Amino acid sequence: MFRPAAPESPPRYPAFRIAGWQLVATAVVAIIGGWAAGWHGFLSAVLGGIVNVSAGIVFAVLARTGSPPTAAGTVHAMIRAEAAKITVIVLQLWFVLSMYKEVVHGAFFAAFVASLLVTQAALLLRDRVRSREH
């Protein structure tokens, strides 16, 4: 017989899972950077990865604050969260590159890009797993 579907909560932004994947990617790049360029290579990679981890946390916090009752309110909250994330990324990139004189650019940007790509992979993997369940 026909049964109504069980109410399912809407998917939430998986901030902790994404941050975990980003930290693993950062650690891998940091180990390689440390092996190739020493302490400054290691530290540069850690800083490069932390840029995206902290920006993702800012996004998640702002996206979850409040519960807009309308679709327009939800879109506004997401745009605000994304703008804050981009602002945090730009400010942190500027801060690290201007203040840390011994930054190893290759390690820094490798970790930044790796953590950025892992973010997209974690979101896509979640969506793919969710679609297989239904």
Give the start-to-end residue ranges of the domains of the chain: 15-128
Phi, psi of 68 (to 5 degrees): -60, 135
Q: What is the mean predicted confidence (pLDDT) over 104-131?
A: 83
pTM of the complete model beyond 0.75? yes
Helix (H) or strand (E) holding 61: helix 39-64
Instruction: State how far the Cα of 14 lies from the Cα of 99, in Å rounded to an integer.
Output: 32
Distant-in-sequence, close-in-space partners of 55: CB < 8 Å, separation ≥ 6:
85, 86, 88, 89, 92
Q: pLDDT tens digits, residue range 78-92?
A: 999 999 999 999 999
Rounded to the nearest 5 percent, the helix, strand and coil shares of the chain are: 80, 0, 20
